[in-house]
Amino acid sequence: MHDRPPTLADVAQRAGVSYATADRVVNGRGGVSDKTVRSVHAAVSALGYVRNVAAANLSQQRVYRFVAVLPDGSNAFFARMRALFEAAATRMIADRVNLSVETVAAFDPAALRERLETLAKQGVDGIAVVGSDDASTINTIAALRDSGIAVMTLVSEVPGSDRAAYVGIDNTVAGGTVGRLLVLAHGGRSGRILPVVGALTARDHADRLQGLREVVAPEITIAPVIEGRDRQDLVEAGVTQALRADPSITAIYSAGAGNVGLIRVLQALPATTRRPIVVLHELVAHSRRALEAGLIDIIIDQRPEEEVARVIDGLRLLADRRAPILTDPIVPTIYVRENLPPEPQITITGNPQR
């Protein structure tokens, strides 16, 4: 028996092939017959050989190329996530990782498909994407996987796709949590919740709304949904009109973005008007200020720092042809005015609004 870990030379000897051939098989470089591949894999299994990925990458002078594809626009949450990816990219240059961020029009499956197809032609090692669950996105993810490009979905799941892993919160559970909080806030009284989403075609927003519907008590009804396209002007107009038309509204749940517009509506309410209970997603600069000022009541934050870290770790494992570490969905943090954390130090360029 060996008192040392088995080496690639041991694998080559047991399989009856040259070291170079064993190296090609273990590192997946092709050009080897199926029979030889089976012999080398059998030797690997019999000896318990574990490939030294770091050494292999160093010897091959390999540089990973990963891309995060995020929605563009003035969405402050995705601006925050973009800043986190960019900060990680700077740190990872020394680790031979080229990490870039690209944006694509929000709620536009055709634009997303075109961008993913372009990246496929550029020979990237892995892609993290905030996708949609339409057929074109599902088919494009499958084509990327078939071409050897690792794909992870981020923030919004894409059911039925061939993605390797999903990183994010369980959006149905998040919506259900909001529903439970609003039931408690109503204290057994009747009420009416006004939901605001970016688009019902966005899987994460639709799942949050479904979770809300599953939990609210019978005495609390749901008003017609406002689709604000994550635009503050559309959200402001829609909420203003809804509050004027329906004085029975006692709560607002914003499951999407455009919340600067919502906050403006709340600021403009007459002092004699009782403000609805307000819950929204993502701790960003303006939602923090609104919570501190007492304009809103609860923020559900999906911890983008954790999401970015998990995506990077997962893409590296997948690029090395190892299975990503499968973990439970990220548990979001519930913030009220009393438990707000210190201001983040990540610099966000531009003028994002959510």
Encode pLDDT of 92-151 as tens digits: 887 788 999 999 999 999 999 999 999 999 989 999 999 888 898 999 999 998 888 989
What is the per-residue burial (b if ≥16 Cβ within 10 Å, else e) of 206-243?
bbbbebbeebbbeebeebebbbbbbbbebbbebbeebb
| β pairing state of 150-154 and 333-335 | unpaired
What is the per-residue burial (b if ≥16 Cβ within 10 Å, else e) of 84-117?
bbbebbeebeeeebebebbbbebbebeebbebbe
The pLDDT of residue 52 is 62
Considering the domain architecture, whether residues 246 and 264 belong to the same structural domain is answered as yes
pLDDT at 16 over 90: yes
pLDDT at 58 over 70: no
Q: Long-range CB contacts (< 8 A, 24+ apart) of 117-120? A: 117/143, 119/67, 119/69, 119/149, 120/144, 120/147, 120/149
Task: Let me know if residue 86 belongs to a domain.
Answer: yes
Comparison of pLDDT for 48 and 290, the residue scoring more: 290
Token couple for 48:
């318990």
pLDDT band at 55 (very low <50, low <70, confident <90, very high): low
Domain end (from 285, 301, 317)? 301
- Out of 81-90, 95-104, 173-182, 283-292, which region has the weakest mean confidence (pLDDT)? 95-104
Give the structural domain span for 109. 64-168+304-328
Q: E-assigned strands of the chain?
A: 64-71, 97-104, 126-129, 150-154, 165-167, 191-197, 220-222, 226-227, 251-254, 277-281, 298-301, 333-335
Count of all residues that appear for the chain in the document: 354
For residues 221, 228, 286 and 80, what is the CA-based torsion angle, rounded to 10 degrees? Answer: 120
What mean pLDDT is predicted for residues 257-263? 97
Question: Over the stretch 177-196, which tens digit does the pLDDT of each residue have?
Answer: 999 999 999 999 999 999 99
The pLDDT of residue 309 is 92
Considering the domain architecture, whether residues 205 and 293 belong to the same structural domain is answered as yes
The pLDDT of residue 74 is 82
pLDDT band at 1 (very low <50, low <70, confident <90, very high): very low
What's the CA gap between 212 and 208, in Å, rounded?
A: 6
What's the CA gap between 205 and 195, in Å, rounded?
A: 10
Considering the domain architecture, whether residues 81 and 188 belong to the same structural domain is answered as no
| For the chain, percent of residues with pLDDT exceeding 90 | 67
- Out of 250-254, 283-287, 291-295, 324-328, which region has the weakest mean confidence (pLDDT)? 324-328
Considering the domain architecture, whether residues 179 and 111 belong to the same structural domain is answered as no
Considering the domain architecture, whether residues 230 and 119 belong to the same structural domain is answered as no
pLDDT band at 246 (very low <50, low <70, confident <90, very high): very high
pLDDT band at 71 (very low <50, low <70, confident <90, very high): very high
Task: Let me know if residue 223 belongs to a domain.
Answer: yes
The pLDDT of residue 328 is 85
Considering the domain architecture, whether residues 183 and 285 belong to the same structural domain is answered as yes
Which amino acid belongs to residue 337?
R
Considering the domain architecture, whether residues 210 and 221 belong to the same structural domain is answered as yes
pLDDT at 8 over 90: no
| For the chain, percent of residues with pLDDT exceeding 70 | 91
CATH number of the domain to which 236 belongs = 3.40.50.2300
Considering the domain architecture, whether residues 35 and 150 belong to the same structural domain is answered as no
Task: Let me know if residue 345 belongs to a domain.
Answer: no
Domain count, the chain: 3
Considering the domain architecture, whether residues 240 and 197 belong to the same structural domain is answered as yes
CATH number of the domain to which 29 belongs = 1.10.260.40
Which amino acid belongs to residue 86?
E
The pLDDT of residue 97 is 83
Task: Let me know if residue 201 belongs to a domain.
Answer: yes
What mean pLDDT is predicted for residues 31-57? 79
pLDDT at 349 over 60: no
Task: Let me know if residue 134 belongs to a domain.
Answer: yes
The pLDDT of residue 15 is 94
Considering the domain architecture, whether residues 106 and 228 belong to the same structural domain is answered as no
Q: What is the mean pLDDT of the chain?
A: 89
Contacts of 1 (CB under 8 A, 6+ apart): none
Task: Let me know if residue 350 belongs to a domain.
Answer: no
Question: Over the stretch 306-328, which tens digit does the pLDDT of each residue have?
Answer: 999 999 989 888 887 777 766 78
Task: Let me know if residue 25 belongs to a domain.
Answer: yes
User: If you ran DSSP here, which 8-state letter would residue 81 be given?
Assistant: H
Task: Let me know if residue 144 belongs to a domain.
Answer: yes
Comparison of pLDDT for 55 and 308, the residue scoring more: 308
Considering the domain architecture, whether residues 37 and 183 belong to the same structural domain is answered as no
pLDDT band at 210 (very low <50, low <70, confident <90, very high): very high
Which amino acid belongs to residue 10?
D
Measured CA angle at 273 (ends 271, 279), to 5 deg:
105
Considering the domain architecture, whether residues 161 and 14 belong to the same structural domain is answered as no
